[in-house]
Amino acid sequence: MMDAFEILGVGLLFVLLVLLWAVPIVAAWNHRHPHRGTILVLDLLLGWTVIGWAVLVAWAFAGVPRRLVVSCPVCRLPMQLERGAAAGRCRTCGTLVRGPISPSPGGPG
Ligand SMILES: [Zn+2]
């Protein structure tokens, strides 16, 4: 028979494990990870294995795209552009600013 302290301990351990298990999902969502949907599914399937969970934590934190800082051609203020994004909108004047590597017109996509 378990007493109240044992039940409390098991409950706390369970909550702690659930919080730890959700770390890759929360990290991927917080960083707007491009593969956050995949990380969610893989954590649901493999998060209970220690190795799978560790790989997902590393992926959730490492795979975050770094932002490029470019200057707006209209107002000359620096703005952040997500790497891989073709263009972003200036927060100050609303101009659509293209990244340094713009896709060639007529290309695939
Ligand atoms: Zn601007």
Give residue limits of the domains in the chain: 4-62, 67-98
Beta partners for 102?
Answer: none
Token pair listed for 64? 């975050």
Instruction: Assign 15 a pLDDT band (cuts: 50, 70, 90).
Output: very high
- Ligand 1 centre to CA of 32 (Å) is 24
pLDDT surpasses 60 at 38: yes
For ligand 1, a single-atom ion, which residues have Cβ within 5 Å?
A: 72, 74-75, 90, 92-93, 95
Measured CA distances, 24 to 14, 15, 39, 48, 58 (Å)? 17, 16, 7, 12, 8
pLDDT surpasses 60 at 88: yes
Instruction: Assign 64 a pLDDT band (cuts: 50, 70, 90).
Output: low
- Ligand 1 centre to CA of 88 (Å) is 11
pTM score of the predicted model: 0.55
- Ligand 1 centre to CA of 7 (Å) is 59
